[in-house]
Amino acid sequence: MDGNLVSYGLQYAGYLIEASLILCLIASRQRKRQVPLAFYLSSLLAAEVARACVLHAYGLKSRQYSDVYWRTDFLVVISLFILVCLFFRRACLHQEKMWRYLRLWLTFICLLVVGISGLLFSHQYGNLFTDFVVEFNQNLYFTCLVLNTLLYLLLQQIDSADDQLGLLVCGVGIQFAGPAATLALVHLMTRQGFAESLFEFTIPLCTLGMLLVWAYAIVPVRGRAVVTRSKATVLAEVTANLNV
């Protein structure tokens, strides 16, 4: 029960931060620059809300929940791939030649993932759409993990001055690496009960970690670590001090 409470707490904290970040991005002066982030966060939030609604209505082991889970996962993974591509675009903002080359590679990688998933899927039988989506999601997720690491290396290579992008990429890295490690651990462990409860905690924790890093990167510095006091208050205190 306590474990469930913590897990729900982490989940709802994640929703709140996602919603606040979206609002912050909409209100931001650099709105246009932050469109990729807003797009990804919106799809993440939409997917989570849809899953929560279906879970509440039909339960964890229902077919409806399983369908909605994998369909929304498809949406999230696709928007993640688009986000990583747009990060590449931002990293190569002043290097058009490199971007043209990278664009070709990214398109090729996307087609390759579709092809490999199709090939693996053709050897399986069962629920056509869900099986393909599960295969495709796993492959694209792993591809995004590799691409994100390559992007980090690219940023180091070109000695990028865009500090915000560096932090955003690190946030995505935390979000990718944590669940990947947990999934591998689940696969290796024999005690499935413990593995599943570990899985329940780490995914919301990693998402929360990513959101906190993003929040640090997005929210302007002037908004932090500053205590504001009205002129009148300071004046009153100075006057009182002088009178003493």
Closest contact distance (angstroms) between CB of 130 and another protein is 23
Closest contact distance (angstroms) between CB of 26 and another protein is 19
Encode 87-114: b = buried (16+ Cβ within 10 Å), e = exposed.
Answer: bbebbbeeeeeebeebeeebeebbeebe
Cβ–Cβ < 8 Å for 181, 118: no
Q: In the complex with another protein, which residue's Cβ is closer, 131 or 162?
A: 162
The DSSP output letter for 222 is: G
Exactly one of 73, 180, 203, 243 binds another protein (CB under 8 A); that residue is 180
Closest contact distance (angstroms) between CB of 119 and another protein is 19
Contact status: 224 vs another protein (CB under 8 A): yes
Exactly one of 150, 178, 198, 199 binds another protein (CB under 8 A); that residue is 178
Q: Which stretch binds another protein (CB under 8 A): 56-64, 130-138, 190-198, 232-240?
A: 232-240
Q: Name 165's Cβ contacts closer than 8 Å, sequence gap at least 6.
A: 87, 90, 91, 155
Q: In the complex with another protein, which residue's Cβ is closer, 65 or 166?
A: 166
Give the C-alpha distances (Å, rounded to integers) separating 5 from 2, 97, 152, 200: 5, 51, 36, 11
Closest contact distance (angstroms) between CB of 143 and another protein is 14
Contact status: 5 vs another protein (CB under 8 A): no
Contact status: 77 vs another protein (CB under 8 A): no
Residues 169 and 163: their CA atoms lie apart, in Å, by 10
Closest to 34 measured CA to CA, from 25, 42, 43, 21: 25
Exactly one of 6, 177, 195, 198 binds another protein (CB under 8 A); that residue is 177
Q: Identify residues 135-174 at the interface with another protein (CB under 8 A).
A: 145, 149, 152, 163, 166-167, 170-171, 173-174
Cβ–Cβ < 8 Å for 176, 144: yes
Q: In the complex with another protein, which residue's Cβ is closer, 85 or 213?
A: 213
Coil, strand or helix at 220: coil
Give the C-alpha distances (Å, rounded to integers) separating 114 from 104, 120, 131, 148, 235: 16, 10, 13, 19, 67
Closest contact distance (angstroms) between CB of 120 and another protein is 15
User: How many residues make contact with another protein (CB under 8 A)?
Assistant: 38
Contact status: 241 vs another protein (CB under 8 A): yes
Q: In the complex with another protein, which residue's Cβ is closer, 50 or 180?
A: 180
Closest contact distance (angstroms) between CB of 226 and another protein is 6
